[in-house]
Chains A and B, each alone.
Chain A
Amino acid sequence: MEAGQMAEAASPALRERLEERLRDNPALGAMAVIAVIFIVLVATHGLHDVAQTGLNGLSLGAIYALGAVGLTLVYGILRLVNFAHGDFLTFGAYMAYLVNVTWGAPLVVAVFWAMIATALIGLLFERLLWGPMRRQHAGFLQLILMSIGLAFLLRAIVQWFWGTQIRLLDVDTTSTVDVLGLRIGQTELIVVVVGVAVLLAVGLMLRLTLLGKRMRALSDDLELAETAGIDTRRVVLYTWIFAGALAGLAGVLAGAITNLRPELGFELLLPIFAAVILGGIGDAFGALAAGLVIGVMTEWSTLVIEPRWKTAVGFLVLVIVLVIRPQGIFGKAKAV
Chain B
Amino acid sequence: MSLDPGAIFPLAVTLESLTDPSFWVGVGVIAGTYAIVGLGLQLNTGFTGIVNFGMAAFMAIGAYTMAILVLKAGFSFWLSLPLAMLASMLFGVIVGLPSLRLRADYFAIATIAMAEVVRLFAQNARGLTGGNRGLFCEEENPSNCYPDAWNDVADSINGLVENLWADPPSLFPLLLVIWVAVGLATVALIYVQRTPWGRVLRAIREDEDAARALGKNTLAFKLQSLAIAALLGSFAGFFLALNLRTLHPVDFEPLVTFFAFSVLILGGMANYKGVFVGSILFWFLLEGTRFIELPEPPFTETRIAALRLAITGLLLIGLMAFRPQGMFGKRQEMVLGE
Contact = CB atoms under 8 A, between A and B. Distances in A.
Contact of B313 (A151, A266, A326, A335): A151
Contacts of B254: 266
A157 B310 contact: yes
A163 B98 contact: no
B336 A155 contact: no
A269 to B, nearest CB: 9
Given A142-B334, A152-B316, A318 B120 contact: no
Nearest to A144: B108
Contacts of A159: 302-303, 305-306, 309
Task: Give the interface SS of chain B, mostly helix, strand, loop or mixed.
Answer: helix
Task: Give the interface SS of chain A, mostly helix, strand, loop or mixed.
Answer: helix
A208 interface: no
B261 A145 contact: yes
A270 B300 CA distance: 30
Contacts of B51: 140-141, 144
B258 A152 contact: yes
B320 interface: yes
Contacts of A306: 124
B137 interface: no
Nearest to B108: A144
Contacts of A149: 312-317, 320
A32 B114 CA distance: 27
A336 interface: yes
A323 interface: yes
B271 to A, nearest CB: 15
B106 interface: yes
A325 to B, nearest CB: 11
B113 A318 contact: yes
A322 B313 contact: no
Given A151-B313, A312-B117, A315-B116, 10 more contacts: A140-B336, A141-B104, A142-B334, A150-B317, A155-B306, A311-B120, A312-B120, A318-B113, A322-B110, A326-B102
10 contacts: A129-B321, A133-B320, A140-B105, A141-B336, A144-B105, A155-B306, A155-B313, A156-B306, A157-B306, A312-B117
Interface of B: 45, 51, 98-99, 102-106, 108-110, 112-114, 116-117, 120, 124, 254-255, 258, 261, 265, 300, 302-303, 305-307, 309-310, 312-317, 320-321, 324, 334-338
